[in-house]
Amino acid sequence: MVLLTLMACGDLPASDSSGNVPEPGVPKQLRSRQIIVALAEKERPQWPVIAQDLQTRYRLRPVGEFPLASIGVQCLVFQVPADQPLESVITALQADPRVELVQANQVFDALQTALDDHYSSYAPYAGLVYGVHLLEANRAQRISTGRGVAVAVIDTGADTGHPGLRNRRIRIANFVEGGEQSFSLDRHGTAVAGIIGAHPDGVGLEGVAPGTLLSVVKACWYSDPTSAKALCSSWTLAKAVDFAINGGAKVINLSLNGRPDPLLGRLVAAAHRRGIVLVAAAAENRDDPGFPAAVNTVIPVISCDVNRTVSLPRWRSAAFVAVAPGQDIVAPAPRDRYALLSGSSLAAAHVTGVVALLLQRQPDLSPGQVKALLQTSARSVSTTHTELGVVNACAVLKLAAPELACP
């Protein structure tokens, strides 16, 4: 296993001198009243001067800075004093000609719900495993395992020592303050990475694409160790997506969701231009799919059960929405255990695995072509909405090239 522990370049220690209420136990990337200011590459010689002037002029406290090489900007993170309206500061900075972009540091969350909080051995769950078979990935693996396809899981950390993930030479990176300590104990990323690429672990659990080159990039963390929900921020996600783009990822899995985000939107566009396929979990219980699932270059995913039944979301989409197993999913959990989970996070991981199977055999496909092939080959679900379709590994491989029909 190649270990990379990466923290923000030039990140600064936090203090409470600005009058903000301290937030003990919260990583600095998720503290309230933070804004991200992006400076363009053309201003590089003046970056230090501009940063100092912005700090003084708008009474801001610097808490971090980092470059995003894939989109050519330098990001400055400031804490806005409690006595200044956040939106007023953002509006003023938007009018500053030296500023390329400014936004609040937003919060995102992972879309997974634990159905069984008692992690145990695999045996009680053996009869419940269905995801790989429903997708026909077990048949597709006879001609493709996703071998050599670089997949970045931008998520929490993961237990890379789990029987299904050990000896996989998984690349790991951390962009959360203090995240190294909990990396191998994180549940959400362990489940997502395992669904995508776990090797048979001796007890029957196998990922959709066990030959992938996996990277687990920690951008999310648990605000409460007992909670099923992990949180991420614009700050951590921006660094993680930039890392994945620059690191040669062919597929990025984003089993998370939030509001539209200008900075992350630029990174999503940059990834698309580089030919990287992005798969994202869509919100199933909200009024819209959420970001980044709603971006038209991204493959949005919702979940179905073992019978291909979908609980229709409140929103409707004219474009294709992929459907994949995401209800009552048996997934690996930290400390060599297993859990029964549900949510579009798990469904997105299944689709990412299928994309990897496809790209091993057809590596020159563009993201748009991959999405079109998934849509055309998708199987019907238990609903009349034609924009929804269950992804099928054998069908998409055969559609891409007739000689790739599953044996």
- CATH code for the part of the protein at 109-404: 3.40.50.200
pLDDT value for 8: 32
Distances (CA, A) of 297 to 40, 135, 160, 354: 25, 23, 30, 17
Domain boundaries, given as residue ranges, for the chain? 28-105, 109-404
Mean pLDDT score of the chain, rounded to an integer? 89
Residue 7 has pLDDT above 70, yes or no: no
pLDDT value for 379: 87
Task: Tally Cβ neighbours within 10 Å of residue 242.
Answer: 22
pLDDT value for 228: 67
pLDDT value for 14: 39
Tokens of 374: 């998934």
pLDDT value for 120: 64
Domain 28-105 listed as CATH 3.90.79.10: no
pLDDT value for 203: 63
Of residues 102 and 4, the one with the higher pLDDT is 102
- Residue 393's contacts (CB-CB under 8 Å, 6 or more residues apart) are 135, 136, 137, 139, 140, 208, 354, 357, 358, 406
Give the catalytic positions in this structure. 155, 188, 345
98-115 mean pLDDT: 87
Give 247-294 pLDDT, tens digit per residue. 999 999 999 999 999 999 999 999 999 999 999 999 998 889 999 999
pLDDT band at 200 (very low <50, low <70, confident <90, very high): confident
Longest Cα separation, the chain: 67
Residue 126 has pLDDT above 50, yes or no: yes
